[in-house]
Structure 1
């Protein structure tokens, strides 16, 4: 079969639809949901061929399926209704009912003795129509745009009829037949509003197989089969029942910033001070740094000796415990005397007493390398040697921090008993007045130390 060309009329119809839609005010796209549509346009039916079966004419041997004629038809019209559902993803399922009608234009007959003279093209009357019920599926390519092209197709049932067909003095009977039909097509749609959509559409439709007609008078056993192909250009107007999509919920307002007063963190506690212990208070090296001095109140010696008293050993046990707790601290043990006696004697006695303190601390587990000793004799008094009370204060043993402690790496500290804070008077060595040393002692002095 030969396909009839699409005429300029169809093109004009399609372009007319495209030209009209831009004049419509801009609106939102159609919403998902049920819709109905009405359609109309122009139909071009391909040339119609007729093939004969069971043709029994005396002296004629015509095989089944022999063509007996070929008809040309005028461009016709079509109209229809559609009912469908549009999904949000662009798919549309649809039931379409349509009707096409074309008038016969001419007939070319084949020389089989059935029609008039062979090979002539005759002007004919009558029409051919097609009523269809199609189940279609369409896909909108841009469903969220006002303009959206679409493609798709469908399958269904067609009723083809030939009515009032005649030429010259020959008239065919009106007959119809039902056959399976399929179609495909596409177009471009424009959403006029959330409910109304207009589109310009193209369709190609064809019957599967052919339709059978007993058109010939006086030939009850003879039937004619004819196929059907047509192209259409049409305009469609659809109404959607879907509720308009509500506008997006505006975002919740940002909460007002809460002014939270900034509470300054409490100042760190001050570092502990290196404090001279009060009478009866345990010695502590917390806060002591290089250069600080602590008078070991109560560390006494037997008269004119470098031997520690029992009370002195008890106090030195506390000193050993603190040195163990502050393992980084190194000290110098300094011995002092009052001004009684010669300078040389007092210097030696002070050195011996400093060494006695160190030796006891070593016995208590303190590493000897952490301690040095030094005797100052009477050279560094802290009170008046002219009074008993002053001499008692000058007879003392001191610890001086030489490394480690809170002031490690610093530039020295202050003496705990010579700084700004008042300190308790150091405990005396409790030597009291004493007689001159024995003559065998070359350092013997008649004075008290």
Structure 2
């Protein structure tokens, strides 16, 4: 009885003095106390308490092997006096599960038990045990555990006419880490910053919005609305339609106008990206309303000629201006003739 009290005191003392980190090499001590539910064939009282002390080692966070010695003193039912003492030395494997503070586990092990019963031979017999338990991590150094296991004792000497006994065992204990404190694992390295977005290739950029990519643009930052050529520079396109004039009150092309329009067609073919306005004009003879319609018919005549010679209609915009934009004096015959015209305005 004094022994059991001593083991309990040791257990509580170690528990109270525990630190805060598991040993770096995995070694620990494990004092415990418990209760035997004795096999009735032992001819002892139904239950007895015991004390145990173990030393073990973790091989990883959840697997440990422990050597322990426990001792109990049973009270005999037969013979009526005397004592029956047992001391067991066992090697037990425990497998823990989970990563939280509470960890269920299973155990399996074996060893030898020394039987000392008054009036019988003193001897060692093999024991085997298996069971389960629940552990709780009070800190990184201290782990409490409660377990129940079945111990099978191959004792064939301590009770006349009876061999082999099975006892149920309940135990409460702690594991206290030994040695240096294992440093906490270093924090995970922060992920590398994402790579900067790839700079777009100059062929994908048009900084001045002139329709020519930056690779090919030899004249960057051209003003908005500037008509540019394939090199991004302002397009110097001269489309001279002088000579494309019309008879009085007519919207039909003169034969001599066709050569001028053919030259304009060739210029438009050389620069397929430019767009032009086909602008029709009249002299001042007649009403404004009539001259507006006449100028539109003249613009349409030139428009149709250019389209008929292969110029995409989407590049052309026919518009009449009536008598609003004279280039010569309408008071003279020659001035009025010059004002009856169509112009191509590059846009």
Q: Shared fold by TM > 0.5?
A: yes
Secondary structure class of the residue paired with 1:213? coil
How do 1:75-154 residues align onto structure 2 when only pairs under 5 Å count?
75-85=48-58, 87-88=60-61, 91-107=62-78, 123-141=80-98, 143-145=99-101, 148-154=102-108
Equivalent residue number for residue 176 of structure 2 = 238
Do the aligned partners of residues 28 and 307 (structure 1) sit closer, same or farther apart at CA in structure 2, a change above 3 Å counting?
A: closer
Aligned partners of 1:149 and 1:371: how far apart in 2? 88
Aligned partners of 1:214 and 1:201: how far apart in 2? 30
Contact 2:134 2:146 (C-alpha < 8 Å) held by counterparts: yes
* Structure 1 residues without counterparts, runs of 5 or longer: 1-8, 51-69, 108-121, 166-171, 217-222, 256-263, 274-280, 285-294, 338-350, 408-449
- Give structure 1 regions of 4+ aligned residues with deviation exceeding 6 angstroms: 252-255, 298-301, 306-310, 322-328, 370-373, 404-407
Aligned partners of 2:266 and 2:111: how far apart in 1? 110
Aligned residues: 280
Tell me which of 216, 220, 225 is aligned to 1:270: 225
Tell me which of 147, 163, 166 is aligned to 1:202: 147
User: Cα offset for 1:94?
Assistant: 1.3
Larger-gyration structure (1/2): 1
Tell me which of 129, 136, 146 is aligned to 1:189: 136
Contact 1:336 1:396 (C-alpha < 8 Å) held by counterparts: no
Q: Going by fraction, where is helix more abundant, 1 or 2?
A: 2
Secondary structure class of the residue paired with 1:211? coil
Secondary structure class of the residue paired with 1:318? helix
Aligned partners of 1:250 and 1:333: how far apart in 2? 77
Aligned partners of 1:32 and 1:176: how far apart in 2? 39
Equivalent residue number for residue 187 of structure 2 = 248
Equivalent residue number for residue 175 of structure 1 = 122
Contact 1:32 1:87 (C-alpha < 8 Å) held by counterparts: no
Contact 2:30 2:56 (C-alpha < 8 Å) held by counterparts: no
Q: Under a length normalisation based on structure 2, what TM-score does the superposition of the two structures give?
A: 0.56
Contact 1:155 1:182 (C-alpha < 8 Å) held by counterparts: yes
Aligned partners of 1:372 and 1:252: how far apart in 2? 64
Contact 2:66 2:92 (C-alpha < 8 Å) held by counterparts: yes
Do the aligned partners of residues 308 and 151 (structure 1) sit closer, same or farther apart at CA in structure 2, a change above 3 Å counting?
A: closer
Contact 2:107 2:131 (C-alpha < 8 Å) held by counterparts: yes
User: Cα offset for 1:129?
Assistant: 0.7
Secondary structure class of the residue paired with 1:212? coil
How much is the aligned-residue C-alpha RMSD, in angstroms? 5.5
How do 1:185-334 residues align onto structure 2 when only pairs under 5 Å count?
185-192=132-139, 194=140, 196-207=141-152, 210-213=154-157, 224-240=162-178, 243-248=182-187, 266=221, 268-272=223-227, 282-283=238-239, 296-297=242-243, 314-321=259-266, 332=280
Secondary structure class of the residue paired with 2:89? strand
Aligned partners of 2:103 and 2:53: how far apart in 1? 21
Contact 2:327 2:338 (C-alpha < 8 Å) held by counterparts: no
User: Cα offset for 1:156?
Assistant: 1.3
Contact 1:207 1:227 (C-alpha < 8 Å) held by counterparts: yes
CA deviations on 1:185-244 (whole Å, 9 max, x unpaired) are 42443434x3x2142533433216x4212887xxxxxx6525141424343332155622
Do the aligned partners of residues 226 and 125 (structure 1) sit closer, same or farther apart at CA in structure 2, a change above 3 Å counting?
A: farther
Aligned partners of 1:79 and 1:364: how far apart in 2? 109
Aligned partners of 1:307 and 1:315: how far apart in 2? 11
* Structure 2 residues without counterparts, runs of 5 or longer: 195-206, 209-220, 229-236, 286-293, 311-316
Contact 2:44 2:74 (C-alpha < 8 Å) held by counterparts: no
